[in-house]
Amino acid sequence: MPRPLAVIVVNYRTAGLVEDCLRSLLPEVAALPGTQVVVVDNASGDGSAERLAAFVAAQGWGGWATVLPLADNRGFSAGNNAGARHVLAEAEPPEWLLLLNPDTVVHAGALQALLDRGGREPRTGIVGSRLENPDGSVQDSTFRFHGLANQLDGALTFGPASTALRSWALVPPRPAEACRVDWVSGASMMVHRACYQALGGLDEGYFLYYEEVDFCLRAARAGWSCWFEPRSRVVHLVGQATAVDPSRAVRRLPGYVLDSRRRYFVKNHGRAYAALADLLWIGGHLLWRLRMRLQGRPDRAAPGVLRDFIRHGALAPGPRA
């Protein structure tokens, strides 16, 4: 029987979260015969691969769930690509690939809703889910492509400026209905097999972050559309898999986040554009800090963020793309 969908979950030391994710997928798999799930263990080194393999066997889920251990951790993109290669090498590969974070729990019907949306319009390459917090409140999961205006806006966070720049804001108003968008969160992102293969999968030059926006931009340039489907509801435990959570107490950003940002801008827009984006962000950030000081408000910027931003920016030495 042809497989409609393969779900790829990349694990790095989050075995407990993956077990919960798999439990939520059980009724979805039963409702969609032929669906398979591949858990890629990104060389966790903590026994995750063995634990998950034993869990799948104990539950009797070996007919639809597979654990694929990797010898080394080359990042989120590489992990997803390894899972994709595994399922696409089959005699009857799936039509769709769902890249699903380990820190997610899917609601009933989430996968079918993605497939329904994917089949409605020709050249649909990507479909994203509605992401929710455990209490049911909605997370941002649809975005505009990164550009100069939203770099300034994101750093400045000043009401009048944000109002003037709202047509370019990175995060548009949350849509209530299915619609085309620039890009969707990679926490639950379904990709058509032909789109994935045509683009050569995710860019493994990204270790973590920006890989999904890069993929969506490349897809758009190649004539594929990206859709948001709110009927596909997925709980996303933000930051549980990566330890980067903007809602938590401010902490220093890992260098790979800023390296990924640099790669995205230089690769897709050129070094001069990337340098201008850096300057706009830096200018906006300095103005924000000045405003906080004048207003007597606390500076809640991540520790060392300006120094780190410059060190990992477009004008810093090191690989560009």
pLDDT (0 to 100) of residue 248: 47
Higher pLDDT, 319 or 14: 14
Question: Is residue 110's pLDDT more than 50?
Answer: yes
Quick one: pLDDT band at residue 297, thresholds 50, 70, 90? Answer: very high
| Least confident range of 51-60, 185-194, 238-247 | 238-247
CA proximity to 134, closest of 33, 234, 218:
234
Q: Tally the C-alpha atoms within 13 A of residue 78's C-alpha that lie toward its C-beta.
A: 16
Fold of 5-138+174-236: Spore Coat Polysaccharide Biosynthesis Protein SpsA; Chain A (3.90.550)
pLDDT (0 to 100) of residue 243: 52
Question: Is residue 9's pLDDT more than 60?
Answer: yes
Question: Is residue 53's pLDDT more than 80?
Answer: yes
Query: Which of helix, strand or coil describes residue 125?
Result: strand
- Which residues, at least 6 apart from 282, have a Cβ–Cβ distance to it below 8 Å? 155, 306, 309, 310
pLDDT (0 to 100) of residue 157: 85
On whether the CB atoms of residues 72 and 51 are closer than 8 A, the answer is: no
Q: Report the C-alpha gap between 127 and 118 in whole angstroms.
A: 6
Q: What are the DSSP E strand ranges found in 83-224?
A: 96-100, 104-106, 124-132, 142-143, 179-180, 183-184, 188-192
Domain ranges of the chain: 5-138+174-236, 255-311
Share of the chain above pLDDT 90, in %: 86
Per-residue pLDDT reduced to its tens digit, 225-269: 999 999 999 999 987 665 554 444 457 889 999 999 999 999 999
Per-residue pLDDT reduced to its tens digit, 208-221: 999 999 999 999 99
> Rounded mean pLDDT of 151-180?
91
Per-residue pLDDT reduced to its tens digit, 301-320: 888 999 999 999 987 766 55
